């Protein structure tokens, strides 16, 4: 993904503690042309995975997931970070956020994640794999199958990718950041 790599190098900004800010084109202001390409690339990489549903987590996973879903004509379900009072048949897990330095409860309706589902999980970043662990837990509770996981940006030096690949999960990252040391962005 040449365009994605270029935007990360030109517009990405480093923050202490291994945080990459891409809020001018992914996380706050969004570039829809880039997002369409990202959705198409995820769709291409998972076209033969036999999935019936795309799973993501709010908020920043929703844009790439919906673009992928539009390409593949598949429903997209986002895991919520706040428990709605009206949600019935809820599956619940907890996720540690290292950017926000807190643990939050995530939930999904059991109506939209079941043992009949074979899903791919899409998110903006893969760091330590904490969000992905929450998704694995929710899928286990539902009896759903995980066919793969796709991330716009994997920070390879934080270990989440190794953890997930060691579990045998097909992890696809569109850009891999190998280092943010001295606030210099290095891509694989
Ligand atoms: P993980 O759960 O893999 O440890 O971290 C991934 C989640 O934390 C993503 O959903 C993302 O929102 C957030 N995150 C992790 N690292 C970064 C980062 O460097 N920049 C931004 N913007 N978000 C990050």
Domains and CATH numbers, the chain: 2-187 (3.40.50.2020)
Report residues whose beta carbon is within 6 angstroms of any ligand 1 atom. Answer: 19-21, 27, 60, 97-99, 123-132, 155, 160
31: helix, coil or strand? coil
| Nearest atom (ligand 1) to Cα of 129 | 3
The CA dihedral of 70, 73, 74, 76, to the nearest 10 degrees, is 20
Rounded Cα gap, residues 39 and 49, in angstroms? 15
- pLDDT surpasses 80 at 87: no
Q: Could you tell me which residues come within 8 angstroms of residue 6 by beta carbon, excluding any fewer than 6 positions away?
A: none
pLDDT, one tens digit per residue, over 155-181 is 999 999 999 999 999 999 999 999 999
């Amino acid at each position: 993904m040449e365009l994605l790599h270029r935007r990360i190098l030109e517009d990405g900004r480093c923050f202490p503690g291994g945080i990459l800010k891409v809020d001018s084109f992914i996380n706050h202001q969004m570039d829809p042309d880039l997002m369409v390409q990202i959705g198409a690339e995820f769709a291409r990489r998972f076209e033969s995975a036999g999935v019936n549903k795309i799973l993501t987590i709010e908020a920043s996973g929703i844009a790439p997931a919906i673009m992928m879903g539009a390409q593949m004509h598949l429903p997209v379900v986002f895991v919520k970070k706040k428990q709605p009072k009206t949600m019935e048949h809820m599956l619940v897990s907890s996720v540690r956020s290292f950017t926000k330095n807190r643990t939050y409860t995530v939930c999904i309706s059991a109506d939209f994640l079941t043992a009949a589902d074979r899903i791919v999980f899409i998110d903006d970043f893969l760091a330590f794999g904490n969000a992905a662990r929450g998704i694995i837990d929710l899928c286990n509770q539902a009896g759903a199958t995980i066919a793969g996981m796709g991330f716009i940006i994997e920070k390879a030096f934080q270990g989440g990718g190794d953890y997930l690949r060691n579990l045998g999960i097909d992890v696809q990252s569109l850009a891999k950041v190998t280092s943010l040391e001295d606030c210099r962005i290095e891509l694989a």
